[in-house]
Amino acid sequence: MVEIAYAPADGELSTATPRWRLVVRRFLRHRLATVSLVVFVLLVLLAFVGGALWHYSYDVYTPDNSQPPSARHPFGTDATGYDLLAQVLRGTQRSVEIALFVAAVSGVFGSVWGAVAGLHGGKVDTVLMRIADLVLIFPAIAVAAVLANNVGASSQGWLLIGLVLAALTWPYVARLVRGLVLSLREREFIAAARTFGAGSWRIIFRHVLPNALGTIIVAVTIIVAVAILAETALSFIGFGVRPPDTSLGLLVSQNQTAVSTRPWLFYFPGLFIVLIALSVNFTGDGLRDAFDNTRSRSRR
């Protein structure tokens, strides 16, 4: 190690800063990440609020067929007269709903799984992680297609699709959290807590989880992006969200033949996917830097 002269943060000189404020400050310094977070929030608002306010609905025909973008139809219309803006907003809403659901479920489930494995160690750890690894040897899209084949068409289909995708993504979170917990477990402050009689639950909730939270948040953020791409791909190959409901992947699929004749039908839904995934990925990158003080050293 280079002994770089970081003067020890001197208690007398530095001011007290709660950790979360430090994290927020570091995140805000990452300008791209800050912009990305704003973009993502705006997109979500647009989809949920804007979709409700927009004077066309995604499932109602308009008298205009195959119109290029205009003031009336900013994103144009398709051959059957659907307003594409309404459809894209609806699709965004669905895709974001599914992605957030996936991230929440696989984040919670994966964290608990990984934490239990890491804390227990030994045989429990081996068995739990073997199971997690087992999920990873199957191509996710194939399993998702098999499982979602029968559910996509039902009214609560999007929830079930979300469950299927969560079932395929939780091992990533579990592996990460386990690794983290294994290293936290070796930290002496855990041993210290045991010496003054703290029980397992107190150790988990008071010492392990708060320290693992940053990593979990970052992982869950990345899962949002992964889930958006997985859901759209699944809908694209025809096993995800089905008509009359719609999602961004389904829109691309339905309009792929129009790419040369009415390109707006193809580009707008695709660009929305890219925009959402990109903003989430950049946000995740910013969060990673914000939580990990060793990484942000020479970045300015």
Partner 1 sequence: MLAYVLRRLLHSVPIVLVGSFITFIMVSASGDPLGDLKAKQPPVPPAVLAAEAHRMRLDQPVLERYWHWLTGILGGDWGPSVKKIDIGAEIWPRLLVSARLVTLAVLLALTLALLVGVVSAVKRYSTVDYVFTAIGFLLLSMPAFWFAILLKQQAIDLNQATGATLVYTVGEASIPPPTGFWPTVWDVLGHLVLPTVVLAMTAFAPWSRFVRSSMIEVQDSDYVRLARAKGLKRRTVLIRHALRTALVPLTTVVALDLAVLFSGAVVTETVFQWRGMGSFLLSAVRDKDIYAVMAWLLLVSVIVVLFNLIADLLYAVLDRRVRLG
Partner 2 sequence: MSGVVAEVLGVRDLTVSFPDERGRVTAVRGVSWSLRPGEVLGVVGESGCGKSATALAVMGLLPLGAEVGGSVRVHDRELLGLRDDELAAVRGRSVAMVFQDSLSALNPVYSVGFQVAEAVRAHHPELGRDEAVERAIELLEVVGIPNARERIADYPHEFSGGMRQRVVIAIAMADDPDVIIADEPTTALDVTIQAQVLDALRTAREQTGAATVLITHDLGVVAGQADRVVVMYAGKVVESGTVEEVFYSPRMPYTLGLLGSLPRLDGRQQARLTPIAGTPPPLDRPITGCAFAPRCPLATDLCRTEEPPLASVDGEHLAACHFSADLVGKRPQDVFPPRPAPPPPDAPVAEQATPIITTPTVAAPIVTAASLVKHYRVRGGGLFRRDRGELHAVCDVSFELSAGETLGLVGESGSGKSTIAKLLMSLEDPTGGRVLLDGEPLSRRGHARDLQIVFQDPTNSLDPRMTAAELVAEPLRVNGTGRREARARALELLRSVGLSGARSERYPHEFSGGQRQRIGIARALALRPRVLVLDEPVSALDVSVQADVINLLEDLRDALGLAYLFIAHDLSVVRHIADRVAVLYLGRVVETGDRDAVFDRPRHPYTRALVSAVPLPDPRAERARERIVLTGDVPSPAHPPSGCRFRTRCPKYLAELTDAQRARCSGEVPALLGGVACHWAEP
Which residues of this chain interact with partner 1, rule CB under 8 A? 1, 130, 133-134, 136-143, 145-147, 149-150, 225, 229, 232-233, 236-239, 249, 252-253, 256, 259-260, 266, 270, 273-274, 277-278, 280-282, 285, 298-299
Q: Is 122 in the site for partner 2 (CB under 8 A)?
A: no
Q: Which tokens is 155 given?
A: 């009214």
| Chain centroid, CA 188 distance in Å | 33
Rounded Cα distance between 59 and 86, Å, is 9
Three-state DSSP state, 89: helix
Considering beta carbons, is residue 7 or 137 the nearer one to partner 2? Answer: 7
Nearer to partner 2, 4 or 53 (CB): 4
Residues 276, 98: contact at Cβ < 8 Å? Answer: no
- Determine the interface stretch with partner 2 among 14-22, 79-87, 119-127, 276-284 (rule: CB under 8 A): 14-22
Distance, CA of 295 to CA of 23 (rounded, Å): 13
Q: Which is nearer to partner 1, 177 or 204 (CB)?
A: 177
* Interhelix angle 157-186/188-195, nearest 10 degrees: 80
Among 41, 79, 146, 191, binds partner 2 (CB under 8 A): 191
DSSP letter, residue 7: -
Residue from the set 68, 121, 139, 210 that interacts with partner 2 by CB under 8 A:
210
How many secondary structure helices (H) and strands (E) does the chain include? 12, 0
Chosen from partner 2, partner 1, none, partner binding at 6 (C-beta under 5 to 8 Å by type): partner 2
| Binds 281: which of partner 2, partner 1, none (CB < 5-8 Å by kind) | partner 1
189 binds, among partner 2, partner 1, none (CB under 5 to 8 A by kind): partner 2
What lies within 8 Å, CB to CB, of 12 at 6+ separation is none
Residue 30 main-chain phi, psi, to 5 deg: -80, 90
Helix, strand, or coil (residue 189): helix
Rounded CA-CA distance 264/117 in Å is: 49
Among 62, 179, 187, 239, binds partner 2 (CB under 8 A): 187
- Piece of 89-97, 146-154, 186-194, 266-274 that binds partner 2 (CB under 8 A): 186-194
CB-nearer residue toward partner 1: 101 or 268: 268
| Contact flag: residue 298 with partner 2 (CB under 8 A) | yes
